[in-house]
Chain A
């Protein structure tokens, strides 16, 4: 199988805190790969590493065979035109209308005439169901609509790779359903490769072709949805079932309560 993104034995730390300790993962072309894990373990950081916004301490990350880590600035900017990212907040430019937001990458990177751009923008907005909202400002959109508008902007340049950062966070069930459908349909219709970073288990199990589960600086489980559900790892099972206590403890590390109360150790 062909892989678009290849993370090889990568270590990354922020200050003294190690975020990733030698992880490796591969993203097959044309598929939806999900990266799941508890909040606060740096799933967004992984996307920023793939996008070249951060540099790993060790190891390599390649995109379509070229190392992101060793690229010059110019090459990196060229490569980024082939990938796009849907941020958790949508990150629409608040001073532009939805139309101008979607047109932005086209105006920046192509020499297309305004009439061609208008046609492309209309098609992209139609794909996410927001053609009628083209003239609204981002502040007039609901959370779900903002994310769909951002998705239209993300596919404006027909990228090879699209990275979703927590696409389902804070969405109502209907918007969630719409997004799940859009991610699947766009991936198949535009022949994209998708990486979805999330902690919403049920949604991911329905759309992801391959799943990585991360915890504690490394990958603790991987496989298709069935393989993951059948995993013997207690950690994976705790995560899938959302149990409060288990290998990931309920308590943040602390001295024992008895000792603290008796004033022996604080």
Chain B
């Protein structure tokens, strides 16, 4: 009978954690806007966004190159290598851009956010903010949350753009696809609302989920070295799973039914 009890306990833990996560976000965001937070948010955009640029650009470049290579070998069988441009662009803008960016963001910036906030808790910095009559939710959580929301869509767009250039590098410069058809068919196929905006919406949703999980896991961590390492791992695992699951749901909603 123990396993029934275990299921009940796990469910209750999950539900109460969801409640705490909701309260945390509510406390952080539902507040009169404060101008003091703007420089703090800009600093966090630098930390989570700008410092993630290198990994985003390198990954985007290689993914674009690999896609062009794979796409070329398949398309050329049907004499359709002219469609390489739209293939690369659509897969990046609709799927790979937002999804891979979110996964990389979870590993690069999400884990760092969890560890940072967890250590601030362990070293009593959060408590001491509270005792100094400064709300840690507004001071620590809110700027990091907004920074994630701002950075992720931009990173995803940069990822896609670099990927398209990578595809050009391999498809056109190396394998000899006509440069004009690479760009012009891409231009006529890719739709602004349907492809670009939907991709941005996806990455906004992923930004919300990944940043929220990362901050909450840090804020709710057990303030010991073991607890923080566990929280960091959970951030990466949970946000990766959430991104992949949500991607399916969003794709079904956006592209599933014509």
Q: How far is the CB of A158 from chain B (nearest CB, A)?
A: 13
Q: What are 30 A-B pairs at a CB distance below 8 A?
A: A48-B127, A51-B130, A53-B127, A53-B130, A77-B133, A78-B133, A80-B130, A80-B131, A80-B132, A80-B133, A81-B133, A83-B131, A85-B127, A85-B131, A87-B124, A87-B127, A88-B124, A89-B123, A89-B124, A91-B124, A91-B127, A91-B128, A93-B125, A94-B123, A94-B125, A105-B132, A105-B134, A108-B132, A108-B133, A109-B133
Contact A91 B133 (CB under 8 A): no
A85–B124 Cα distance when bound, in Å, is: 11
Kindly report which residue of chain A lies nearest to residue B135, judged by CB atoms: A77
Report the interface size class on chain B.
10 to 19
Q: How far is the CB of A258 from chain B (nearest CB, A)?
A: 32
Kindly report which residue of chain A lies nearest to residue B132, judged by CB atoms: A105
Interface residues in chain A, defined as those with a beta carbon under 8 Å from any beta carbon in chain B: 48, 51, 53, 77-78, 80-81, 83-85, 87-89, 91-94, 104-105, 108-109
Contact A87 B130 (CB under 8 A): no
Residues of A within 8 A of B123 (CB): 89, 91, 94
Residues of A within 8 A of B127 (CB): 48, 53, 85, 87, 91
Contact B134 A53 (CB under 8 A): no
Kindly report which residue of chain B lies nearest to residue A165, judged by CB atoms: B124
Residues of B within 8 A of A53 (CB): 127, 130-131
* CB within 8 Å of A: which B105-129 residues: 123-125, 127-128
A146–B124 Cα distance when bound, in Å, is: 14
Q: How far is the CB of A239 from chain B (nearest CB, A)?
A: 26
Residues of A within 8 A of B125 (CB): 91-94
Q: Which of B127, B132, B135 has the most CB of A within 10 A?
A: B132
A88–B130 Cα distance when bound, in Å, is: 15
A175–B162 Cα distance when bound, in Å, is: 57
Residues of B within 8 A of A92 (CB): 125
B 65-84 binary contact with A (CB < 8 Å = 1; else 0): 00000000000000000000
Q: How far is the CB of A204 from chain B (nearest CB, A)?
A: 22
Q: How far is the CB of B118 from chain A (nearest CB, A)?
A: 13
A263–B135 Cα distance when bound, in Å, is: 55
A88–B122 Cα distance when bound, in Å, is: 11
A80–B125 Cα distance when bound, in Å, is: 16
Residues of B within 8 A of A93 (CB): 125
Kindly report which residue of chain B lies nearest to residue A83, judged by CB atoms: B131
Kindly report which residue of chain A lies nearest to residue B133, judged by CB atoms: A80
A108-B134 CB under 8 A given contacts A91-B123, A91-B125, A94-B125: yes
Which 10 A-B pairs have CB atoms at the shortest separation, nearest pair first?
A91-B128, A91-B124, A80-B133, A87-B124, A85-B131, A77-B133, A81-B133, A105-B132, A91-B125, A89-B123
